[in-house]
Structure 1
Amino acid sequence: MPSRDPLSPSSPWVELRTSAEDWDAADPSLLLGMLGQGLWIRAFEEYALELAGQGLIHGPVHSSIGQEGGAVGSVLPLRSDDFVNGSHRGHHQFLAKAFTHVLPEKTDRLPEVTDDVRTVLRRTLAEICGLTDGFCQGRGGSVHLQWREAGAMGTNAIVGGGVPQAAGFAFNQLRAGTDAVTVTYFGDGAVNIGSVLETFNLAAAWKLPVCFFIENNLYAVSTPVSEATAEARLSGRGPGFGIPSWRVDGMDPLAVQLATTEALAHMRAGHGPTVIEAEVYRYFHQNGPYPGSAFGYRDKAEERAWRDRDPLDLLRGHVVRRKLATAREVTAAGKKVAAVLREIGDTVFEPDPAGKPGVRRIRASAWPDPATVDHGVRGDLSELADSRYEEAGTFSGRLAERRFIDLVSEVIGRRMETDERVVVLGEDVNRLRGGTNGATKAALEHFPERVLGTPISENAFTGLGGGMAMDGRFRPIVEFMYADFMWVAADQLFNQIAKTRHMFGGTEAMPFVLRTKLAAGSGYGSQHTMDPAGILTTAAGLRVVAPSTPFDYVGLMNTALACDDPVVVLEHVDLYGTTGTAPVDDLDYRIPVGRAALRREGDDLTVISYLAMVGRCAEALDQVPRLRADLIDLRWLDRASLDWETIGTSVRKTGRVLIVEEGARGTSYGDWLADEIQRRLFDWLDAPVERVTGGEASPNISKVLERAAIARTEEVVAALRDIAADHDSAAR
């Protein structure tokens, strides 16, 4: 018979409950603060639902009425340098963090609605209504609230989407030598999201000071927890990753505060992450002013039972019992903030011009100017104003024939030498004497403590890098081993990193660099060999750069690392082993954003390409000497950075265009570029834009089929010969 020894988790998992003695021992200022802020949050949420019912809020309003105990209990123990982020249902946590930032720590009475508190209420209300005065200038609305000064780093509309970023905030706090922590709030639905569990694992492995705060309100929209998971005690996820975990009654604010205090002590002592599960109850549906019972997934008896355990009633009872305030004073405090909110509303709303009784509209002066719709998608590049720009043809330093991959390694190492904020992270970057291709060789030799090998968890470490960049104390270089892996991390790359700058008001930097390689022709099959340029450049917030020479790699990587926008650096494995003219010892120059390179000049044709296909285009032109062509190496691929001056000058001269790319038609970059050239330069074109691309299918393992799926020199030669034949025919 086999033996069976019971196992126990390596980290504790406890359920914490308060006693009468705990309530008697609680600091009066704590109870008054939690009650006062809870009343303010409740009044704010009730007013927001009223406005939503009047059609004055565009979009959903995910109210937190009933869940205030979890917010005030967990936020009041935090400092301003502690960070929080949250989910689409985050008004209560955002307000609690903002109030705690502007209020004094101690009070012997219910907190007053000061001018600072009025400002918080006014700007939060304006943001939820989509108005200029909002914290994010109306860009974020109800689901994207951010006030960095208070440590409120942003709520998030993607379920679980903000959790990886919180790990990035915590990484920065730890590496900066502080004892500050991050609390990331999410609901029961997010507990089963892959990026959340990936982040649990990464945070535990790296001992990051992040608290995963689960607001278990029992329903993911209308799906009960019992139908979504076999273990409904959601804090049980923590011990599986070696994370100490607490389970508390979230309707008991003091229990939440005590659990948070214990978790904070653990994290501030450098022991790593924690999990707190607070069982709470939202009184209303997923969004809007109706209870869940109106939609049939809850019954009224259940709702009444939870309302009978209201967290504000519990606080009110103990405050009055201990004679810290009278019942009349508590009622007056609630009425006061409700009156203040209506005063604020009167400055924002005006009567209906048609005179309909009880109907209001938002004042025209409160709306953002529609002309600013695209402001803040990316920065103005003023951070690059002091750059020393160089090109290979005019470079005055020492040059030699050098391997492409050596320059990749050396420039990353050089930037880590000159900027202590630069950190490299990704899978295997800290192994194999320089990662899978040697790109981190120099960094490992000189700065191994800043080269961080991650678990296989693209969503987690990409989001962590995004959080690092958003906070700004470090500048991450994130590596995807293959470009196809961006699909695994698509939420963090496209929904989070690319959009963050714009949706939070457009004023904050996002200095994030992603390196990834293209590997068509390497035999690695359909899931490791895509060209992502056509997909990446649909995301307005990303800048995309594609160096084709070792000299350019140095200058373009330096520019990417100095840029305050997120930049994706595309590399090609076919270039790594090649040699080209490159600097020997000067690795500090830059190449401007939006500057293409003219590799050859001619009057017959404009050939446009990028990465390894630039060299293949040159080879093809050598085989068709009849055509004299401009060969444009785009270098910058994103729409905001494309060098239309160089393209336009060439097209006006030649009248014909051939766009060359290696990859599949379905994800083609040339689709968009051809269309845009014909829109912008139609009057100068003598023929439709020609294209060379790969096939419809992704490259696969068979060497013969792989070759058939991609474009190489031969396909370019064939296209050039067809164009030359047309050219000759026209000349006759």
Structure 2
Amino acid sequence: MNAIITEPLQPSTPWVSLATNSAAWAAADPKLLDSMLTSMVLIRAFEEKVLELAGQGLVHGPAHSAIGQEGGAVGSVLAMRGSDQINGSHRAHHQFLAKALQYVAPQGLESAAPFGDDVRTIADRTMSEILGLARGYCKGRGGSMHLRWAESGNLGTNAIVGGGVPGAAGAAWAHKRAGTGDVAFTYFGDGAVNIGSVLETMNLAAAWKLPLCFFIENNRYAVSTTVEEATAEPRLSSRGLAFGIPAWKVDGMDPLAVYLASEAAVKAMRAGEGPTIIEVDVYRYFHQNGPLPGSAFGYRSKDEEKAWRARDPIDRVAAEMAARQLIGDEQVASLRARAAALMEETAAELVEQHEGKRRIVPSLWPSPDFRDFGVRGDLSELRDVRYVEQEEFTGEITESRFVDVVADVMERRMREDDGIVVMGEDVHRLKGGTNGATRGLSSSFPDRVLGTPIAENAFVGLAGGIAMDGRFVPVVEFMYPDFMWVAADQVFNQIGKARHMFGGDGEVPLVLRTKVAMGTGYGSQHSMDPAGIFATAPGWRIVAASTPYDYVGLMNSALRCKDPVLVLEHVDLYNSKGPAPVGDLDYFIPLGKAKRVRTGQHLTVLTYLAMVRPVLEAVEKLGIDADVIDLRSLDRAGVDWALIEQSIDKTGNVLIVEQGANGTSYGGWLAAEIQNRCFDMLDQPVQRVHGSEASPSISKVLESAAFAGPEDIEAGLRLAMAGQGRPLA
């Protein structure tokens, strides 16, 4: 008797192949087919002109064309409405143009009609962007790979393979929360489908039933690596089965089949059924980048390329329309000629002949002084708030636990602003997460405190998408700051760079909370101070409060700010008590304003977070006449140089005190900046107190040796005083 019993298991969601037949083409709306053909012809003509310019050396950087893949983009976009949104990858001209054209012509384009001014403007601004010119959609910063036109539903294309997928989930979350019925599509290729951020986002989108379509353009090659080399299951839409996501596999060279699959997917998403997957089999006629075919590089054959070209999506639609006598060969030829002429006219306004060579018209380049515009905003959103330092506060002050104030101020803000949403691992459980910092929030706001899977890439990227949407303010908790390395692409490449990369005008109002946990025995991968990493990455603001009172004001400013803000906390402060307001949790403390917490004449001590109190204690113990400055704002734009330079001019001596490792030090770059700015004021080199090179270990003894403590502070103070000829007894 066989003791093993096996029973086939069935997936919880359908996975189907969808194809058209003659009846489907006969039933298709003539206006739909005409718009489909016109859009594809315009996109093809645009891409051909870009490759021509690239061949002439006029495109600075890559030109990832999607010639041959237009059927996937146009077929899917025509199933959307103008308020739906999309994003894509580095190969996304066709998707961007399809959505832009659909936005300006919601009733569809007509092949026989002249191209309107809106269509011409799209061609001009998109080509300008690819050439890096000031009148491009991102003012020349985005080029070929970073195309954003938010009004049209184009959220922004992305040079990191798979990197834009979590952000699209954020847009989908915002649509669901707002109840608009809108959906989002995220386009990516076979090379991205196995990337962690994509799979993490599939899981999160399914768990939260987000209206997001994962649209896979399977063109069979990730640069030159075939699908079969990269995965044992080359039918990439199968990924949906693992997450309970319904999926369609479609011939992408058949735009009507793509449209019908997209129509079904959109219907399901608008009905609240959650995410979908569509895989389209397409083919890029050219190499990964530039005007040469893939066969020129030896990884595919000319016969293969010829076979795919014989299935061209434009020819397919034209032939089906001709069979129904909706269009003739002359009309198709005329449409192609007019589209080519439009792109030639567009290029002629951007390029000129000069001394026998083609060049960009010089006046069209962005000004070099535009270089740093939009790395961060100008903080005008904080112009009219009520700033109150503790010394000026007229209300009641009491001694409170730091962690209680963390929860209290967030409760106040969420009660007054229903656009704030909190997310992170276990923030909805354990009586306020692992430390109590979100205490009471999930019971008060159950639909706005979201416990996430252990998937930092997905949930912080999703938060970035929510922030860029603009209707909500996400507050993300990283249980430990070291987890930023897991989500580094989303934190630094996406969220931190987004405003600047897309032209400087966008906003990314996001708060990322995390705690420094040195001294808790959690070892090398849970104990870092991330200030030095974030300070050297563009786009982020950083605040670090040393008292409960300051935390309230700084968190209020962080939540009002339109830039991403890292809010640093510390386990040593959580259970400590300090001055906190009673009742009034509505004041602000300025971003970019340090605080002198002790006045002296002989030494300037710069510190932050949990090191402020031990520094003050050491200065008092040793009887040093020192200025002690709590930095509070740590990002490059937030360093209070006016106060620091005033103090250094008085004392001539500087000691920077931080707790964490030397390798990821905040004080290293700050010391270099001080010596550049204040060299003539200094009586000796800037002195520093910091941890060792190694990360803290589990052993209590080795952990204590790895980060700076009271003995190190005292030694640093003695060294700084001795260096100015005032040695301490």
Q: How does 1:98-117 map to 2 (within 5 A)?
A: 98-106=100-108, 110=112, 112-117=114-119
Q: How does 1:438-449 map to 2 (within 5 A)?
A: 438-449=436-447
Task: Give 1:37's match in structure 2, choosing from 36, 39, 62.
Answer: 39
Asked if 2 retains the 8 angstrom alpha-carbon contact of 1:613 and 1:660, the reply is yes
**How has the CA–CA distance of structure 1 residues 114 and 108 changed in structure 2, closer, same or farther, with 3 Å as cutoff?**
closer
Is 2:683 the partner of 1:652?
Answer: no
Equivalent residue, structure 2, for 1:633: 630
Deviation at 1:731, TM superposition (A): 11
Task: Give 1:560's match in structure 2, choosing from 541, 558, 561.
Answer: 558
Task: Give 1:235's match in structure 2, choosing from 237, 261, 265.
Answer: 237
Deviation at 1:110, TM superposition (A): 4.5
Q: Distance in 2 between matches of 1:104 and 1:567?
A: 38
Deviation at 1:108, TM superposition (A): 6.5
1:406-426 C-alpha deviation (Å, 9 max, x unpaired): 110011111111111100000
Deviation at 1:346, TM superposition (A): 1.6
Asked if 2 retains the 8 angstrom alpha-carbon contact of 1:250 and 1:279, the reply is yes
Q: Which amino acid aligns with 1:460?
A: A
Deviation at 1:320, TM superposition (A): 1.4
Output the TM-score relative to the length of structure 1: 0.98
Q: Distance in 2 between matches of 1:396 and 1:453?
A: 38
Equivalent residue, structure 1, for 2:602: 604
**How has the CA–CA distance of structure 1 residues 155 and 106 changed in structure 2, closer, same or farther, with 3 Å as cutoff?**
closer
Q: Which amino acid aligns with 1:510?
A: V
Deviation at 1:89, TM superposition (A): 0.2
Q: Distance in 1 between matches of 2:112 and 2:94?
A: 18
Stretches of structure 1 lacking an aligned partner (at least 5 in a row)? none
Asked if 2 retains the 8 angstrom alpha-carbon contact of 1:29 and 1:109, the reply is no
Equivalent residue, structure 2, for 1:393: 391
Q: How does 1:318-717 map to 2 (within 5 A)?
A: 318-352=320-354, 354=355, 356=356, 359-625=357-623, 627-717=624-714
1:478-537 C-alpha deviation (Å, 9 max, x unpaired): 110000000000000000000000010111111011001100111000000001111111
1:370-425 C-alpha deviation (Å, 9 max, x unpaired): 11111111111111111100111110111111110011001111111111110000
Q: Distance in 2 between matches of 1:95 and 1:709?
A: 54
**How has the CA–CA distance of structure 1 residues 704 and 133 changed in structure 2, closer, same or farther, with 3 Å as cutoff?**
same
Deviation at 1:727, TM superposition (A): 4.2
Is 2:219 the partner of 1:196?
Answer: no
Q: Distance in 1 between matches of 2:568 and 2:635?
A: 12
Asked if 2 retains the 8 angstrom alpha-carbon contact of 1:243 and 1:274, the reply is yes
Asked if 2 retains the 8 angstrom alpha-carbon contact of 1:88 and 1:157, the reply is yes
1:335-368 C-alpha deviation (Å, 9 max, x unpaired): 111111111212111112x2x2xx3111111100
Q: Which amino acid aligns with 2:166?
A: P
Q: Which amino acid aligns with 1:209?
A: P
Q: Distance in 2 between matches of 1:729 and 1:207?
A: 67
What is the DSSP-based 3-state SS (H/G/I as helix, E as strand, rest coil) of the residue aligned with 1:142? coil
Q: Distance in 2 between matches of 1:722 and 1:568?
A: 33
Deviation at 1:714, TM superposition (A): 1.3
Q: Distance in 1 between matches of 2:109 and 2:298?
A: 44
Asked if 2 retains the 8 angstrom alpha-carbon contact of 1:33 and 1:111, the reply is no
Equivalent residue, structure 2, for 1:50: 52
Task: Give 1:265's match in structure 2, choosing from 267, 288, 305.
Answer: 267
CA RMSD of aligned residues (A): 1.2
Output the TM-score relative to the length of structure 2: 0.99
Equivalent residue, structure 2, for 1:306: 308
Q: Distance in 2 between matches of 1:169 and 1:427?
A: 21
Q: Distance in 1 between matches of 2:721 and 2:510?
A: 44
1:695-732 C-alpha deviation (Å, 9 max, x unpaired): 11100100000000010111101221233344455899
Q: Distance in 2 between matches of 1:586 and 1:545?
A: 21
What is the DSSP-based 3-state SS (H/G/I as helix, E as strand, rest coil) of the residue aligned with 1:15? strand
Q: Distance in 1 between matches of 2:58 and 2:666?
A: 41
Q: Which amino acid aligns with 1:88?
A: H
**How has the CA–CA distance of structure 1 residues 730 and 721 changed in structure 2, closer, same or farther, with 3 Å as cutoff?**
closer
Q: Distance in 1 between matches of 2:171 and 2:87?
A: 10
Task: Give 1:247's match in structure 2, choosing from 249, 253, 266.
Answer: 249
1:571-593 C-alpha deviation (Å, 9 max, x unpaired): 11110001111101111111011
Query: Which moves more between the two structures, 231-240 or 338-347?
Result: 338-347
Q: Distance in 2 between matches of 1:112 and 1:321?
A: 24
Query: Which moves more between the two structures, 423-432 or 435-444?
Result: 435-444
1:314-348 C-alpha deviation (Å, 9 max, x unpaired): 01101111111221111111111111111121211
1:35-87 C-alpha deviation (Å, 9 max, x unpaired): 00000000000000000001111000000000000011000111111000000
Deviation at 1:620, TM superposition (A): 1.0
Q: Distance in 2 between matches of 1:104 and 1:228?
A: 39
Deviation at 1:470, TM superposition (A): 0.4
Q: Distance in 2 between matches of 1:28 and 1:304?
A: 30
Q: Distance in 2 between matches of 1:498 and 1:463?
A: 11
**How has the CA–CA distance of structure 1 residues 191 and 107 changed in structure 2, closer, same or farther, with 3 Å as cutoff?**
closer
**How has the CA–CA distance of structure 1 residues 297 and 108 changed in structure 2, closer, same or farther, with 3 Å as cutoff?**
closer
Equivalent residue, structure 2, for 1:28: 30
Q: Which amino acid aligns with 1:534?
A: G
Deviation at 1:111, TM superposition (A): 5.4
Equivalent residue, structure 1, for 2:279: 277
What is the DSSP-based 3-state SS (H/G/I as helix, E as strand, rest coil) of the residue aligned with 1:449? coil
Asked if 2 retains the 8 angstrom alpha-carbon contact of 1:165 and 1:465, the reply is yes
Q: Distance in 2 between matches of 1:180 and 1:571?
A: 37
Q: Distance in 1 between matches of 2:670 and 2:92?
A: 41
1:640-684 C-alpha deviation (Å, 9 max, x unpaired): 110001100110011100000101110001110111101100111
Asked if 2 retains the 8 angstrom alpha-carbon contact of 1:109 and 1:324, the reply is no
Q: Which amino acid aligns with 2:267?
A: A
Q: How does 1:36-185 map to 2 (within 5 A)?
A: 36-106=38-108, 110=112, 112-185=114-187
What is the DSSP-based 3-state SS (H/G/I as helix, E as strand, rest coil) of the residue aligned with 2:474? strand
What is the DSSP-based 3-state SS (H/G/I as helix, E as strand, rest coil) of the residue aligned with 2:197? helix
Deviation at 1:551, TM superposition (A): 0.3
Q: Distance in 1 between matches of 2:49 and 2:608?
A: 55
Alignment: residue pair count? 727
Q: Distance in 1 between matches of 2:490 and 2:710?
A: 36
Asked if 2 retains the 8 angstrom alpha-carbon contact of 1:36 and 1:111, the reply is no
Q: Which amino acid aligns with 2:637?
A: A
